[in-house]
């Protein structure tokens, strides 16, 4: 288990690809640490389980900090991470390189992206959208899911790119997405 960069001991299950999508959405890293930042305790717990499984020799660390949401509402942000330089390099190679996801795990990956940076509009039924900070990241996901299934828009004022799932595609995959996603649970 020593050299994780050369090993393919993960990225082999739906949960692995879900966690990859979640990390690409809300992940954090430094030169020798990899982790996740979120206000959602369920996501933190799920990612912590993943980290413990792929790097049992590493100590899981937690940082809690206040997050201001509006005038009166405060939340607690949580960051979990492990110090593991080779694992950090492996994650960054997925972020910066060509992302290859087997088709049977695409929806698990998509569920992770939705849970991390996605938004679901239940009131007006306009669907599911995922916000991206970088054009490359958004275009990579657009290629993964196909231009016939998703639309990509750039919002200049907000400096974001947003990927919208087209209604026909969304309706076709919704039951499968619910199997993986925390946000989409009815």
Tokens 């990927």 appear where?
163
What phi and psi, each to the nearest 5 degrees, are found at residue 46?
-65, -45
Task: Report the pLDDT value the prediction gives residue 124, as an integer from 0 to 100.
Answer: 54
Q: What is the reported pLDDT for 66?
A: 85
Q: How much is the pLDDT for 100?
A: 84
Tell me the pTM.
0.88
Domain 103-180 top-level CATH class: alpha beta
pLDDT at 96: 84
Residue 2 pLDDT:
41
* Contact (CB, 8 A) for 136 and 161: no
Residues of the chain with confidence (pLDDT) below 70: 1-10, 69-72, 122-126, 186
Q: What is the pLDDT of residue 4?
A: 41
Decide yes or no: CATH 3.40.50.1820 for domain 14-96: no
Delimiting residues of CATH 3.10.28.10 domain(s) in the chain: 14-96, 103-180
Q: What is the dihedral of CA 39, 45, 50, 53, to 10 degrees?
A: 150
Looking at residue 135, its pLDDT comes to 93
Q: Which pLDDT belongs to residue 95?
A: 85
pLDDT digit string (tens) for 80-89?
A: 999 999 899 8
């Amino acid at each position: 288990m020593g050299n994780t960069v050369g090993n393919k001991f993960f990225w082999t299950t739906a949960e692995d690809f879900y966690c990859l999508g979640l990390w690409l959405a809300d992940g954090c890293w430094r030169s020798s640490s990899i982790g996740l930042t979120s206000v959602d305790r369920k996501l933190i717990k799920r990612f912590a389980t993943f980290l413990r499984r792929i790097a049992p020799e590493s100590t899981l660390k937690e940082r809690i900090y206040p997050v201001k949401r509006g005038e009166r509402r405060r939340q607690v942000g949580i960051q979990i991470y492990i110090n593991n330089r080779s694992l950090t390099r492996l994650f960054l190679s997925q972020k910066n390189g060509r992302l290859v996801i087997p088709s049977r795990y695409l929806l698990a990956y998509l569920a992770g992206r939705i849970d991390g940076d996605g938004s679901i509009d239940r009131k007006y039924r306009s669907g599911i959208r995922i916000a991206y900070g970088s054009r490359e990241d958004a275009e990579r996901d657009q290629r993964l899911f196909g231009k016939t299934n998703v639309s990509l828009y750039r919002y200049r004022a907000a400096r974001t790119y947003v990927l919208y799932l087209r209604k026909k595609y969304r309706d076709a995959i919704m039951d499968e997405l619910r199997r993986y996603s925390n946000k989409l649970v009815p």
